[in-house]
Chain A
């Protein structure tokens, strides 16, 4: 008999005996255990203690996990009315913006039409919206921004011209300024052309010389850029590159880090899917850092705007991802939606999801329900339009504590790419104005420009 595996403890001894009871077979005989009986009780007590001491599998409860909120249907909340000219074919409205262009005290709407290659104006009058063209023959305009760039007391218009909306790697973009002569007549000034496709132009004095400079986002395709352009006077501008990456959709200008100098936040899509903050020092120098980044190359960044969403005195970043134009057929992805980056000060931002929304574009911060907090409205350009329940406009209602409840505002018209909130002269709730971009089928629920007003109380 051989004795192996001896274990000697303080109070008991346990020995395993392997017994070769035959010449052919090796088998284990029942254990012979030697210990004092009081240790039996000890083991039992120890095991019971272990049971109640919490050696149980830990499963996180649902608290703190992603909140799945039931979507509320509010399709009758807003009444939609087509405004502006009637249309033939498929409209391609790429941007809407607000401005009291004629400085009559009433907010008007500016818009870009990439099908007609024009920039238009919806003037707010007592008779309703009146449409007129401000400029034509601007190739694929996709952003219009009012700014008194020449500081002569009237609003000029900064235009981002892509050249072509659809993917193109050629240098066909340009920055155009429509100079206002103060009587509503505009002179077209091409500030720079033959550059990677331009998607956004904003104004700001970045070097402290008193002249208004430009921040320019260039999507390009495989190659793109972000630059700021120093205003040299006399409609001459000098380019300073900030980033050489493709896919810039928006550049927003504000003092975002609280140092009293203008900064530039830039949304860069394509395979990068990042938001950059270029922190300005007021003398034309910028420090770059990434303040948001998705590791999903198909995240589909689609739009960015600045709002003080939580009303803490700091501008936050409201941001949508819903571009579905890659791959097989334009359409939604499960991660499409809206988020906000909470400005925590000193250039630090914290990611917060607002909600899911297939094909989300153009997020707008607006107190739509007039309850004193800022809600979020977004439109969809890439939903599953073959499914009748697909939403084209959503409200994310803020409960005042930055919890957002999704509410479906509209299913039709489809293919909404742009949206703007307008405070009309009547003091009522804000009106929304949307633009349709019908570059792919189905073409049965189309719109060009639509006015959305409160129809009933929710």
Chain B
């Protein structure tokens, strides 16, 4: 069928009309979105203390958010910048809108749910995390957080289901295993939780959260031997680890707060994520080259990694920036001693004490220097000063005891050892020395008590314990 010329004109007019309407519709949508976004843009927070670049980026993002064609992009940028830099109210304002105008992007409900859940507002968090999972079913951190949120809402069975779903996708996910064990524990089944955790830590002994929960269960079950053993294993595993969460972790690339970056690096480091810790600290140092905290932390990290020259450079710089911070000097002295540059270590210690005359940690170091030089009286005075000002640390008392013993001031040494065990009841050296002292003093009951305590301390080598028991038997003619 052919069109007549009149019909062709009509078709042309119709097509033009459709194109115009469609363009108008698009323009109207863009304008509507722009005005809607502009209306909800959060007030810019006080940026005192931040580098100017953050202000510039926020301004640019606000400009985009107010533009006709990139308001969504601008709002997204704002949301990320605000969350990364700790302006959570502003981040939530942006994210609430982004959940609506960018509905297929799973990160918005996730970020928003994560902030809400962080505040304990689980009623808000739960549907957002569920939406995230619908949009990104393979993003397991969202599932683990959903499980955690359900468990903290007393929905144990639902939480267990979510953790099992995680494990069906990643059978070695320690966070899901720990979470599932908690649901079993909450459900009154500590044995099941214990079995699950035991099997897991055999496979992944470096996963600290599992050890923590396992020890709590063993304590509940009254298994003292297991508690003592697992505590030692837990120490080897390091401290509690936060779950790696790439979407959240990536936000730190937008962070301009050296303190937040330092905290994030400190959280990453115990998880043996040295590369991430280093990356975060290097960013912090770039942003705030005159802030001694990230520089010192970077120096310590380099020291842990065995890069001593680099560690020395960073720590010298930290001490130069803030000479009133005792930690800058004490870590520098430690590194210089490790390098073997004793003259430099001595100079750093003297400089540290000149700047921080009251710092107990430097007096501790000074005491060690005196002790190494055989100046025991001066060492004892320094250790005593450190002990007075670090009352909850057993190190100074232990050093003091050793100095007294070298001077053959036995009674004073024993008093110092008792100070050690007041703070650290199972201090391996102090417990063994006190046992030996009691044996040599002929006090069988006291010696037996210390040996009993030593048996509970897994850090005491079996041969040392055997030697003490042998001495006891030799002195008292029987086993303790």
Min CB–CB distance A140 → chain B (angstroms): 8
A225 to B217, CA, bound (A): 11
What residues on B are CB-neighbors of A222 within 8 Å?
Answer: 212, 215, 231, 234
Q: Does the CB pair A334–B86 fall under 8 Å?
A: yes
Q: Bound state CA distance, A391 and B97, in angstroms?
A: 32
B100 touches A328 (CB 8 A): no
Interface mask (A205-222 → B, CB under 8 Å = 1, otherwise 0): 000000000000000001
**Interface stretch of the complex, out of A33-41, A148-156, A303-311, A407-415:** A33-41
A44 at the interface (CB under 8 A from B): yes
Chain A stretch 40-82: residues in CB contact (< 8 A) with chain B: 40, 43-44, 47-48, 50-51, 56-62, 65-66, 68
Given A222-B212, A271-B209, 8 more pairs with CB closer than 8 A: A34-B1, A48-B21, A270-B240, A293-B120, A294-B152, A329-B259, A351-B121, A356-B89
Pair A295/B125 contact, Cβ less than 8 Å:
yes
Complex: chain B residue closest to A32, CB-CB: B3
A335 to B86, CA, bound (A): 8
Identify which of A40, A47, A289, A299 contacts B118 (C-beta below 8 A).
A299
Interface residues of A (CB under 8 A from B): 32-35, 37, 40, 43-44, 47-48, 50-51, 56-62, 65-66, 68, 89, 115, 139-140, 164-166, 168-172, 222-223, 225, 241, 244-246, 270-271, 273-274, 289-290, 292-299, 326-329, 331, 333-335, 339, 351, 353, 356, 384, 387, 389, 441
Q: Which of B12-20, B304-312, B378-386, B409-417 contacts A (4 or more CB under 8 A)?
A: B12-20
Whether B145 and A295, one on each chain, are in contact in the complex, defined by CB atoms closer than 8 angstroms, is: yes
Knowing A56-B32, A328-B262, say if A293 contacts B21 (CB, 8 Å).
Answer: no
Q: Are B242 and A241 in contact (CB under 8 A)?
A: no
Q: Which of B195-203, B340-348, B420-428 contacts A (4 or more CB under 8 A)?
A: B420-428
CB distance from B424 to the nearest CB of A (A): 7
Q: Which of B37-45, B131-139, B367-375 participates in binding chain A?
A: B37-45
A65 touches B92 (CB 8 A): yes
Q: How far is the CA of A298 from the CA of B240 in the complex (A)?
A: 11
A245 neighbours in B (Cβ, 8 Å) = 216
A273 to B151, CA, bound (A): 12
Return A19 CB to nearest CB of chain B, in Å: 16
Chain B residues, Cβ within 8 Å of A32: 3
Interchain CB contact (< 8 A) of A40 among B13, B100, B153: B13
User: Among residues 45 to 99 in chain B, which have CB atoms less than 8 Å away from a CB atom of chain A?
Assistant: 48-49, 86-90, 92-93, 96-97
B39 touches A241 (CB 8 A): no
Complex Cα–Cα for A246 and B240 (A): 12
In the assembly, what is the distance between CA of A255 and CA of B188, in Å? 25
Whose C-beta in chain B lies nearest to the C-beta of A292?
B120
- Partner among A50, A66, A294, A339 whose Cβ is within 8 Å of the Cβ of B93: A66
Name B residues whose Cβ lies closer than 8 Å to a Cβ of A. Answer: 1, 3, 7, 10-11, 13-14, 17-18, 21-22, 24-25, 28-29, 32-33, 36-37, 39-40, 42-43, 48-49, 86-90, 92-93, 96-97, 100-101, 114, 117-123, 125, 145, 148-149, 151-154, 209, 212, 215-217, 219-220, 227, 231, 234, 240, 242, 259, 262-263, 265-267, 293, 297, 325, 389, 391-392, 422-426
Let me know if B42 and A68 touch, CB within 8 A: yes
| Complex A-B, nearest 10 residue pairs according to Cβ-Cβ distance, in ascending order | A293-B152, A334-B86, A40-B14, A296-B118, A59-B36, A327-B266, A295-B117, A328-B262, A294-B120, A244-B220
Q: Given A57-B36, A89-B389, A334-B87, does the pair A290, B153 have CB atoms closer than 8 Å?
A: yes
Chain B hits for A356, CB < 8 A:
89
Residue ID in chain B nearest A71 by CB atoms: B46
Write 8 A-B pairs (CB below 8 A) sorted by A numbering.
A48-B21, A222-B215, A223-B227, A244-B219, A271-B240, A295-B114, A329-B293, A351-B122
In the assembled complex, the CB of B165 is this many whole angstroms from the nearest CB of chain A, namely 18
| Chain B residues, Cβ within 8 Å of A166 | 392
A59 contacts which of B21, B37, B89, B220 (Cβ < 8 Å)? B37
Q: Given contacts A60-B97, A61-B39, A290-B152, are A171 and B425 in contact (CB under 8 A)?
A: yes
Which has the most chain B C-beta neighbours within 10 Å: A225, A274, A293? A293
Given A295-B149, A334-B87; A339-B120 close (CB under 8 Å): yes
- On whether the beta carbons of A115 and B293 are closer than 8 Å, the reply is no
Report how far A37 CA is from B220 CA in the complex, Å.
Answer: 82
B260 CB, min distance to chain A CBs, angstroms: 8
Q: How far is the CA of A290 from the CA of B120 in the complex (A)?
A: 11
Tell me, rounded to whole Å, the shortest Cβ–Cβ distance linking A446 to chain B.
13
Residues on B with beta carbons closer than 8 Å to the beta carbon of A384: 259
Given that A115-B391, A295-B145, A296-B118 are known contacts, is A289 also in contact with B154, CB under 8 Å in the complex? yes
Contact present for B119 and A329 (CB under 8 Å): no
Which residues from A are CB-within-8-Å of B117? Answer: 294-296
Say whether B33 contacts A59, CB under 8 Å.
yes
Partner among A37, A58, A441 whose Cβ is within 8 Å of the Cβ of B101: A58
Is there an interface contact between A57 and B259, defined as CB atoms closer than 8 Å? no
- Chain B residues, CB < 8 A from A35: 11
**A169 contact set on B, CB distance < 8 A:** 231
B13 nearest in chain A by CB position? A40
Q: How far is the CA of A51 from the CA of B40 in the complex (A)?
A: 23
Whether the Cβ atoms of B97 and A295 lie closer than 8 Å is: no
The answer to whether A294 and B100 touch across the interface, beta carbons within 8 angstroms, is no
> Which residue of the partner chain A has the closest CB to B293?
A329
| Given A34-B3, A47-B25, A328-B263, A57 contacting B100 (CB threshold 8 A) | yes
Nearest Cβ in chain A — how far from B333, in angstroms?
19
Contact A328 B293 (CB under 8 A): yes
Interface pair B100/A33, CB less than 8 Å apart? no
Max count, chain A CB within 10 A of own CB: residue among B43, B120, B122, B227: B120
Interchain CB contact under 8 A, A241 and B93: no
A60 vs B103: C-alpha distance when bound (angstroms): 13
CA distance A172 to B25 in the complex (A): 72
Residues of A within 8 A of B36 (CB): 57, 59
| Residues of B close to A139: CB separation below 8 A | 422
- C-alpha gap A306/B124 in the complex (Å): 25
- B304 to A: closest C-beta gap in Å: 14
Which residues on B sit within 8 Å (CB–CB) of A246? 212, 216
Chain B nearest Cβ from A239, distance in angstroms? 12
Report whether B212 and A293 are in contact in the complex, using a CB–CB cutoff of 8 Å: no
Contact of B32 among A57, A65, A168, A326 (CB under 8 A): A57
Residue of A nearest to B24 (CB): A51
B21 touches A44 (CB 8 A): yes
Is the beta-carbon distance between B18 and A44 smaller than 8 angstroms? yes
Complex Cα distance, B154 from A140, in Å, reads: 35
Most buried by A among B21, B22, B242: B21
B13 to chain A: closest CB distance in Å? Answer: 7
Nearest A-chain residue to B30, judged by Cβ? A57
A58–B101 CA distance with the chains assembled, in angstroms: 7
Closest to A442 in B: B324
* Contact residues in B for A37 (Cβ distance below 8 Å): 7, 10, 14
Which residues of the other chain, B, contact A333 by a CB distance below 8 angstroms? 86, 263
B422 CB contacts on chain A under 8 angstroms: 139
Asked if A328 contacts B120 (CB within 8 A), the reply is no
Which residues of B have CB within 8 Å of A165? 392
CB of A351 within 8 A of CB of B40, answer: no
Measured CB to CB, the closest approach of chain B to A298, in angstroms, equals 8
CA distance A43 to B117 in the complex (A): 47
A426 to chain B, nearest CB (A): 39
Q: What A residues does B153 contact at CB under 8 A?
A: 290, 293
The answer to whether B215 and A62 have CB atoms under 8 Å apart is: no
The answer on a CB contact under 8 Å between B100 and A58 is yes
Name the contact of B392 in the complex, choosing from A164, A270, A298 (C-beta under 8 A). Answer: A164
Contact in complex: B88, A335 (CB < 8 Å):
yes
CA–CA, A385 to B36, complex, Å?
40
Q: Which residue of the partner chain, among A48, A295, A329, contacts B152 with CB atoms under 8 Å?
A: A295
Q: Is the CB of B265 within 8 A of A328?
A: yes
Measured in the bound complex, the distance between the Cα atoms of B29 and A50 in whole Å is 12
